[in-house]
């Protein structure tokens, strides 16, 4: 599979990912309508966003500017020292 280069398809992909996140969150809250579930969902989303930011931005800009990541598998290989 080649890299996605079309801006229109990139926007579509972003919109679909956002839709998946919203629908999944709403369904989860409908399944278990409790403020604790909502709080845990918010914390999980926030933590995963921060971890993603760390994996790609912090490593590349503050720890190892030489290495460019292509995805989460690349990041795991980097952490394992398999560059």
How high does pLDDT run on average in the chain?
89
Question: What mean pLDDT comes out for the span 27-38?
Answer: 95
User: Does residue 24 share a domain with residue 63?
Assistant: no
Question: What mean pLDDT comes out for the span 6-26?
Answer: 94
What angle separates helix 7-31 from helix 35-53, to the nearest 10 degrees?
Answer: 150
Q: Among the residues of the chain, which ranges form H helices?
A: 7-31, 35-53, 72-80
User: Does residue 26 share a domain with residue 50?
Assistant: no
CB 72 within 8 A of CB 55: yes
pTM of the predicted model as reported, rounded to 2 decimal places: 0.71
Distance of CA 17 to the CA centre of its chain: 10
- What local confidence, expressed as pLDDT, does residue 62 receive? 87
Question: What mean pLDDT comes out for the span 23-50?
Answer: 95
Domain tally, the chain: 2
- What local confidence, expressed as pLDDT, does residue 82 receive? 64
User: Does residue 41 share a domain with residue 25?
Assistant: no
């Amino acid at each position: 599979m080649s890299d996605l280069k079309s801006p229109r398809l990139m926007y579509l992909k972003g919109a679909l990912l956002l839709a998946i996140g919203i629908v999944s969150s709403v369904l989860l809250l409908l399944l278990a309508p409790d403020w604790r579930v909502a709080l845990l969902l918010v914390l999980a989303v926030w933590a995963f966003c921060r971890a993603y930011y760390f994996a790609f931005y912090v490593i590349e800009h503050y720890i190892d500017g030489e290495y460019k990541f292509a995805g989460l598998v690349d990041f795991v290989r980097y952490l394992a020292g398999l560059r």
